[in-house]
A = this chain, B = another copy of it.
């Protein structure tokens, strides 16, 4: 896709959103219709958590990276992209639990545990992890990936889902409540929390398209910088937007967590987010990756209103 054919970000998000939703629907139906299905209540909570809308940023980043790297089976690639959103859904379902953030609202509607109860939500969230691994294995096989690629893809997904990835970051997050973290701690926290799965999205898109190592490295750098920009922008939004606009409540600020805004003030936080976008864009340029979609997505994460 070159600049001349890029339809603009809104149209791009619309056109990508449809196939992502359909792939997620197929993934949920696969769980519902498998030979020995989960209990109906757990399946209901999975459907609530996975099909609850959202930006679908991770699968869309995957699809954009896949296309930028010359991947030719884009329609089939969305099933692989869906595995990333399944992990994201698990992390949100567990994050919102009463013993974690105790959130009542997510994307403008009741959180999964408020609808399906705490125990069902813990089970459903945990069940999404092996389900995502199986989804990645099946989808990468159907996509015609070599076996070694399938192995690296599922390894990348599981590494992002586990140790040192989101879970580590979530914990630093909870521990950081009420503590004034230093700048380096905060950067590390955010790189881990948001960055691991965002970065995995880009790495997996590149891997699935069989990109060379330089391209994969550039997309990893783009992912890390974009992930950090995303988190700083989240802090800015939490400090400036209304719960109605955000569709969630309480914000990190309410919970007295260390945020970029608390540490640096609003303007400096905004500047740091833009710096990260510059780093992301320059990683693409240096590697000669011509992707108006990835350029627009990186800008979008700091300019979005929710």
Contact = CB atoms under 8 A, between A and B. Distances in A.
A151 B147 contact: yes
Contacts of A287: none
Contacts of A147: 147-148, 151
Q: How many copies does the complex hold?
A: 2
Main SS of the interface on chain A? helix
A137 B162 CA distance: 14
A262 to B, nearest CB: 21
B129 A163 contact: no
Q: How large is the interface on A (under 10, 10 to 19, 20 to 34, 35 or more residues)?
A: 35 or more
Q: Which of A119, A129, A159 has the most CB of B within 10 A?
A: A129
A130 B151 contact: no
Contact of A100 (B31, B119, B148): B119
Interface string A23-40: 000000001001111110
Contacts of A74: none
A272 interface: no
Interface of A: 31, 34-39, 41-42, 90, 94, 97, 99-100, 117-119, 122-123, 125-127, 129-131, 133-134, 137, 147-148, 150-151, 154-155, 158-159, 161-165, 167-168, 170-172, 174-175, 192
Contacts of A192: 36
Given A37-B168, A129-B162, 18 more contacts: A35-B164, A36-B163, A36-B192, A37-B163, A38-B164, A39-B172, A41-B171, A42-B168, A123-B170, A125-B126, A126-B167, A130-B133, A130-B158, A130-B159, A133-B162, A134-B159, A137-B151, A147-B151
Nearest to A122: B122
Contacts of A90: 126
Nearest to A30: B163
